[in-house]
Amino acid sequence: MRDAPRAAVPLLAAVLALNSADVATVGSTATRLQQDLHLSYTDLGLVVSLSSLVGAFAALPFGVLADRVARIHTLSVAVVLWGVGAAATGAAVSFGTLMSARVASGVVLAAAGPLSASLVGDWFPPAERGQIYGRLLTGELVGTGIGFALTGNLAGLLSWRAAFLALAPASFALAVLLWRLPEPERCRRRPSQFSQMHEQPQAKSPERTEFAQTDRVQREAVQTEPGQTEPGQTEPVQTESVGAAVRAAKASGATPDIVLAKKFKKI
Per-residue pLDDT of 224-263, as tens digits, reads 444 444 454 444 444 445 566 656 666 666 555 555 555 5
Residues 237/230, Cβ–Cβ less than 8 Å: yes
Residue 72: closest CA among 5, 24, 127, 21: 5
Average pLDDT, the chain: 77
Q: Could you tell me the pLDDT band of residue 77, with boundaries at 50, 70 and 90?
A: very high
Residues 245/259, Cβ–Cβ less than 8 Å: yes
Residues 30/44, Cβ–Cβ less than 8 Å: yes
CA 102 – CA 178 distance, rounded (Å):
23
Residues 86/174, Cβ–Cβ less than 8 Å: no
Residues 251/243, Cβ–Cβ less than 8 Å: no
**pTM confidence score:** 0.65
Question: CATH 1.20.1250.20 region(s) of the chain?
Answer: 4-184
pLDDT score of 267: 44
Residue 250: closest CA among 219, 214, 204: 214
Residue 63: closest CA among 20, 104, 113, 103: 113
Alpha-carbon distances, residue 153 vs 60, 121, 124, 147 (angstroms): 35, 38, 38, 10
pLDDT score of 100: 92
For the domain spanning 4-184, the CATH number is 1.20.1250.20
Which residues, other chains included, contact 251 with Cβ-Cβ below 8 Å and sequence gap of 6+? none
Task: Determine how many CB atoms are found less than 10 A away from the CB of residue 244.
Answer: 12
Report the largest interatomic distance among the alpha carbons of the chain, rounded to a whole angstrom: 112
pLDDT score of 84: 93
**Tens of pLDDT along 137-194?**
888 888 888 777 887 788 778 888 988 898 899 899 999 999 998 888 887 554 444 3
3-state secondary structure 14-33: HHHHHHHHHHHHHHHCHHHH
61-65, 112-116, 218-222: segment of lowest average pLDDT: 218-222
H helix and E strand count, the chain? 12, 0
Q: Is the pLDDT of residue 75 over 80?
A: yes
Q: Which amino acid is at 29?
A: T
**Tens of pLDDT along 15-66?**
888 888 888 888 888 888 888 998 888 888 898 888 889 988 999 999 898 8
pLDDT score of 87: 92
